[in-house]
Amino acid sequence: MIEIKDLLVRFNNLLFSEEIKKSSIIEVIKQVVGVEIKSEDVKIKNNIIYLNIKPIYKNEIFLKQEQLFLALKDSLGKKTPEGIR
């Protein structure tokens, strides 16, 4: 018989990978733009990054969006999000 903990390991791995992705995104934004973002201000839904930050910081991120995605592609590889909103 399959134990519940064996079934839930799959979901634990998914949550862990999302946290790694968030921390990579925060680190890349800090390196490229110089803006520190809290983990709770970043959400990833349907492979798109949603930022809940001040508009002045968002504008700076959008201006350097190409550099951000190049750095994200280096750190995340195939799991790089498609866009930022």
Q: In order along the chain (85 residues), what is the average pLDDT of each group of 10 residues?
A: 71 71 92 93 92 94 93 85 89
pLDDT score for 20: 85
Predicted TM-score (pTM) of this structure: 0.80
Asked if 31 contacts 25 with a C-beta cutoff of 8 angstroms, the reply is no
Asked if 43 contacts 15 with a C-beta cutoff of 8 angstroms, the reply is no
pLDDT score for 3: 74
**Residue 45 has which token pair?**
């839904």
- What does R_g of the chain's alpha carbons equal in angstroms? 15
Asked if 25 contacts 49 with a C-beta cutoff of 8 angstroms, the reply is yes
**Phi-psi label, residue 53: left if phi above 0, alpha if psi -120 to 50, beta otherwise:** beta
